[in-house]
């Protein structure tokens, strides 16, 4: 059995597909290969840690059974493979960090977890707060145009910090449009 892990923002399109197909559910997977087996406790702990998250989905797929199609779609050939999907990213990015719980958790907290909320700005950075205030004054159609523009840019190659800021702006704009 071959296992692939998926780390996704709940807004990411891949996760919606994943959940609808019931592929990103830990209970569907049996971790039998050596490398997969050694990573399983950390992966399960990570899943438990973020089970109640409103912004992150932790899931896995058995690439030899029900998840075979999704694994082929995302070009998974080695195991365990961990891919993460930021909002607007339909192809995913291979995770290159450590396979231990602390490394995985730090990555999720730093890269995937949404901390800033337009309704409760306590966890927002000054930069995010300024962007929220700026975009609150804009009409809805301007925010929708910004969302479209940023979504187009999301798949482009850019430095990690710029990609994170792009993602933060998308999240803020979407919250304002709810």
Q: The domain spanning residue 51 has which CATH number? A: 3.40.30.10
At residue 8, φ and ψ (nearest 5 deg) are -140, 150
Is the same domain home to 24 and 108? yes
Task: Judge whether 100 and 138 are in contact, CB under 8 Å.
Answer: no
Is the same domain home to 169 and 127? yes
Is the same domain home to 100 and 133? no
Is the same domain home to 92 and 138? no
Residues 6+ apart with CB under 8 A from 177: 140, 143, 144, 147
Domain end marker among 112, 143, 167: 112
Number of domains within the chain: 2
The CB density around residue 31, as the number of other CB atoms within 10 Å, is 21
Distance from C-alpha of 143 to C-alpha of 7, rounded to nearest angstrom: 27
Is the same domain home to 27 and 105? yes
Is the same domain home to 28 and 108? yes
Is the same domain home to 99 and 125? no
At residue 16, φ and ψ (nearest 5 deg) are -60, -45
Is the same domain home to 98 and 17? yes
pLDDT of residue 69: 77
Is the same domain home to 106 and 134? no
Is the same domain home to 91 and 145? no
Domain that includes residue 156, residue range: 121-177
Query: Digits of tens for pLDDT over the chain (178 positions)?
Result: 333 455 443 343 344 444 333 223 232 243 445 566 778 888 889 888 887 776 777 877 777 766 677 777 877 777 777 877 766 566 777 788 888 899 988 888 877 777 888 988 998 999 999 999 999 999 999 999 999 999 888 778 888 788 889 888 988 998 898 8
Angle made by CA atoms 98, 99, 105, in degrees to the nearest 5: 80
pTM, to two decimals: 0.62
pLDDT of residue 161: 83
Is the same domain home to 93 and 129? no
Domain end marker among 78, 112, 146: 112
Strand partners, 81: 4
Is the same domain home to 18 and 53? yes
């Amino acid at each position: 059995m071959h296992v692939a892990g998926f780390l996704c923002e709940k807004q990411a399109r891949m996760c919606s597909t994943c959940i609808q197909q019931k592929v990103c559910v830990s209970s569907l997977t049996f971790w039998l290969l050596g490398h997969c087996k050694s990573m399983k406790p950390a992966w399960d702990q990570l899943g438990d840690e973020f089970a109640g998250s409103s912004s992150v989905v932790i899931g896995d797929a058995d690439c030899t059974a029900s998840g075979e199609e999704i694994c082929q779609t995302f070009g998974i050939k080695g195991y365990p493979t961990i891919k993460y999907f930021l909002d607007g990213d339909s192809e995913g990015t291979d995770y290159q960090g450590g396979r231990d719980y602390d490394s995985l958790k730090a990555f999720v907290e730093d890269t995937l977890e949404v901390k800033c909320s337009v309704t409760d700005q306590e966890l927002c950075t000054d930069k995010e707060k300024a962007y929220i205030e700026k975009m609150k004054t804009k009409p809805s159609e301007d925010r929708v145009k910004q969302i479209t523009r940023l979504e187009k840019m999301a798949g482009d190659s850019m430095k990690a910090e710029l990609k994170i800021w792009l993602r933060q702006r998308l999240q803020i704009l979407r919250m304002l449009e709810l």
